[in-house]
Amino acid sequence: MTDEKFFDELSSMINNAFDGAFGRKTGNRTMPNIKVMDKNPSNIGETNTRDLSDFVVKEDSSDTIPALYESIEDYTAKTGKRFRMTKEQKNLGLTRDEAFNQTFGDN
């Protein structure tokens, strides 16, 4: 087999694999899930008139989320890890307790 014929055969095999994997046209089959654009859409120039408040998530202020950890010791007991301050917290001069409350405390 010549190199050119080999590469043609290899290219054909790769194309067929991609066609099968990605649903491109293979033989008599057509591409699935393809939406053909309407030549004369009826909604040209229309705007979405939905109120944006429909998309806003409303919070119940009465339901407060309890703190994940009560103290540094509780954090260590529950996670098995030592609480570590961030560089920013260190630069601010916070104590470990202040940093912990900033990270996990009641806001």
The pLDDT tens digits for 77-94 are: 999 999 999 999 999 999
pLDDT of residue 87: 95
Q: Which residue has the higher pLDDT, 3 or 9?
A: 9
Please provide the DSSP assignment of the chain as one string: --HHHHHHHHHHHHHHHHHHHHT---TT---TTPPPPPSS-TTTT------GGGGPPPP-TTSPPPPS-SSHHHHHHHHSS-----HHHHHTT--HHHHHHHHHS--
The pLDDT tens digits for 10-65 are: 888 888 887 777 766 655 555 555 555 556 666 666 665 666 666 666 665 555 66
pLDDT of residue 70: 86
pLDDT of residue 82: 93
